[in-house]
């Protein structure tokens, strides 16, 4: 989750450099931030709670420094708990992403030896362990190796020694990327923070230790200490793609880009869809694995493969997948869906799958991410940088790839392509033709609501779940999605007069049944908002969408995204940075 950026090189305005990089990583979500740099032979630290905004830091020019944005896990949101953390001497500093699961016994051990702790975090134990190693005569790298080997959990660590002018980085699962420059080198949690300075990167692998100095970067094996080769890669996307352009925020920009993304998949992914279809055809058990929004894309995929290709695939939550590993064999296909490619539960699920001999597939948006590199077969979503915490265009990209693949598996790839092209056109038309204004009017009418319910059946059931997630995570309106046939099994007890209810009613076999359920909700006071190609007397409000057949989940996602967006704006919330949430969930 945390944003990380470090620099070592020629003397520079390290404070400004680090703050700028951290602002490019704000999409990851955070509640406090801090910067550290060398000052008179010691570490100077500036840190505080809240967002960076227009903050500056009064640090001198320095040849080494790093910074961190924290999403609290252990210890409250306080200045003291913000990173970086210092050792007792003021010579060493540390930033950390992850959870040190055994920090309590380590902390007790260090306290007994006289170390003084300034925070309530699990992270601080690591800098004191490194301090002891350095005091015993070890190099920073060897001290960090020894300390990291004692940790339990999934972690990424960067240690800084200002007297030696070097950074040492090591990680397990949590992402770190090294940037290779001229007379300067860098490290970050995402290549997005590096492209202003270099396009040459090294993706740090698990249990590798990087020693970062101004003129060289060296890799060592965590356990043996033996040197490892650097695998240089080139970041090929334009950092300008990550800018706002004419848009007021990233959520509106990324919603508007969905037509382009779906069209790109329709016209350019035939070979990838064929290769993925062949993998599914050859597997004995296919599992679509995702977390949050990606899990609803996976669930939609389960319906798509059933209705289009007559093929059963399993949709599983990433965090629950390890409890179903007993079904996996060397003939299984575990297909992970992820925007970031760094979600800890997804990575753990794929590690479990590999241990059972399964083939690993990925639909992932970030090239070079942990998931992208570990997969046997990876399909890049090609959505471009997605910086709003809420996933929009990466979600519809996943749906597009799954739709095209299901039709390819069924022997009807041209039908899949035409459906996606129609869906792409309709996404653009909805935004340009007044659809956004209609949704805003709905948002204005229901902005004071405390609860909202969404219903769908069949292929629209996952859409209802995703719609509710989008609305609650950005506007903080309590929203829940339900299968339309489950209303009588308890759900209908929640309705009161005027409760807004989203009804997804495409022109498919579910229409009559879902309208019947909507009438039950309406008769109990619900305000019916129909997302449908056709109006119906049961709807109090109709949001017209095109009939695009099996691609309906792509088109129907947009009104729900817009509703969440406008509710957030009307209620005074930043749609890009919802509270308590992070874009890349790299802790379990």
Choice among 47, 171, 393, 583 that is catalytic: 583
Residue 288's nearest CA partner among 184, 406, 141, 188 is: 406
CB 95 within 8 A of CB 84: yes
**Residue 420 main-chain phi, psi, to 5 deg:** -70, -40
Upstream peptide bond of 84 is cis (omega within 30 degrees of 0): yes
Residue 251's nearest CA partner among 399, 81, 436, 408 is: 436
CA atoms within 13 A on the CB side of 27: 24
Choice among 2, 291, 388, 501 that is catalytic: 2
Contacts of 393 (CB under 8 A, 6+ apart): 254, 255, 257, 258, 261, 383, 384, 386
Strands (E), 457-576: 478-483, 500-504, 527-532, 541-544
Helix 461-475 and helix 552-570, axial crossing angle in degrees, nearest 10? 20
CA atoms within 13 A on the CB side of 201: 27
**β-pair partners for 4:** 68
C-alpha to C-alpha distance for 251 and 330, rounded to whole angstroms: 41
Three-class SS state of 394: helix
Contacts of 270 (CB under 8 A, 6+ apart): 404, 408, 413, 417
Q: Give Dmax (Cα) for the chain.
A: 80
Contacts of 429 (CB under 8 A, 6+ apart): 435, 546
Three-class SS state of 137: coil
CA distances from 481 to 291, 459, 484 (A): 16, 13, 9
Q: How many CB atoms lie within 10 A of CB 353?
A: 24
CA atoms within 13 A on the CB side of 176: 32
C-alpha to C-alpha distance for 549 and 422, rounded to whole angstroms: 10
Q: Does the annotation count 2 as an active-site position?
A: yes
C-alpha to C-alpha distance for 294 and 107, rounded to whole angstroms: 37
Q: Residue 530 has which token pair?
A: 């129909």
Positions marked catalytic: 2, 583
């Amino acid at each position: 989750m945390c944003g990380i950026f470090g620099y070592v090189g020629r003397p520079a305005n390290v404070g400004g450099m680090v703050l700028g990089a951290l602002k490019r990583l704000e999409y990851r979500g955070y509640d406090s931030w801090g910067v550290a740099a060398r000052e008179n032979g010691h570490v100077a630290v500036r840190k505080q709670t809240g967002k960076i905004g227009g903050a500056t830091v009064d640090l001198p020019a320095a040849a080494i420094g790093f910074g961190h944005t924290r999403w609290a896990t252990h210890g409250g949101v306080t200045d003291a708990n913000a990173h970086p953390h210092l050792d007792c001497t003021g010579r060493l500093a540390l930033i950390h992403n992850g959870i040190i699961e055994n920090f309590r016994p380590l902390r007790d051990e260090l306290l007994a030896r006289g170390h003084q702790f300034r925070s309530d975090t699990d992270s601080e134990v690591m800098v004191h362990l490194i301090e002891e190693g350095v005091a015993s005569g070890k190099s920073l790298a060897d001290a960090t190796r020894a300390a990291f080997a004692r940790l339990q959990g999934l972690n990424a660590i960067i240690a800084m020694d200002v007297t030696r002018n070097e950074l040492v980085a090591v990680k397990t699962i949590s992402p770190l990327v090294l940037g290779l420059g001229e007379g300067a080198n860098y490290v970050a949690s995402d290549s997005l923070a590096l492209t202003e300075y270099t396009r040459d990167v090294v993706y740090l692998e698990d249990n590798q230790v990087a020693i970062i100095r101004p003129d060289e970067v060296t890799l060592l094996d965590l356990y043996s200490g033996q040197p490892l080769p650097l695998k240089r890669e080139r970041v090929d996307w334009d950092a300008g793609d990550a800018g706002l352009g004419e848009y007021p925020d990233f959520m509106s920009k990324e919603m508007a880009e969905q037509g382009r993304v779906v069209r790109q998949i329709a016209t350019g992914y035939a070979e990838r869809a064929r290769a993925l279809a062949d993998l599914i055809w050859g597997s004995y058990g296919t599992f679509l694995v995702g977390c949050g929004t990606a899990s609803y894309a996976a669930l939609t995929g389960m319906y798509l493969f059933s209705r289009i290709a007559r093929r059963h695939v399993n949709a599983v939550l990433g965090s629950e997948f390890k409890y179903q590993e007993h079904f996996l064999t060397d003939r299984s296909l575990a297909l992970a869906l992820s925007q970031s490619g760094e979600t800890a539960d997804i990575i753990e699920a794929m590690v479990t799958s590999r241990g059972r001999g399964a083939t690993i597939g990925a639909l992932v948006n970030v090239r070079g991410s942990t998931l992208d590199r570990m997969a046997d077969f990876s399909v890049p979503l090609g959505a471009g940088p997605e910086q709003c915490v809420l996933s929009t265009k990466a979600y519809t990209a996943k749906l597009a790839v799954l739709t095209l693949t299901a039709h390819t598996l069924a022997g009807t790839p041209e039908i899949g392509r035409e459906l996606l092209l129609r869906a792409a056109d309709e996404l653009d038309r909805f935004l340009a033709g007044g659809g956004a204004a209609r949704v805003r009017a709905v948002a204005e009418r229901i902005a004071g609501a405390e609860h909202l319910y969404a219903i769908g059946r069949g292929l629209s059931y996952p859409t209802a779940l995703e719609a509710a997630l989008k609305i609650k995570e950005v506007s903080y309106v309590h929203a829940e999605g339900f299968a339309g046939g489950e209303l009588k099994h308890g759900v209908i007890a929640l309705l009161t007069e005027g409760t807004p209810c989203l009804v997804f009613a495409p022109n498919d076999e579910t229409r009559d049944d879902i309208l019947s359920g909507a009438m039950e909700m309406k008769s109990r006071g619900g305000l019916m908002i129909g997302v449908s190609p056709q109006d119906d007397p049961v709807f109090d409000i109709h949001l017209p969408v095109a009939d695009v057949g099996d691609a309906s989940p792509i088109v129907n996602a947009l009104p729900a995204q817009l509703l969440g967006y406008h509710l957030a704006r009307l209620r005074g919330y930043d749609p890009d940075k919802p509270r308590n949430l992070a874009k890349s969930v790299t802790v379990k």
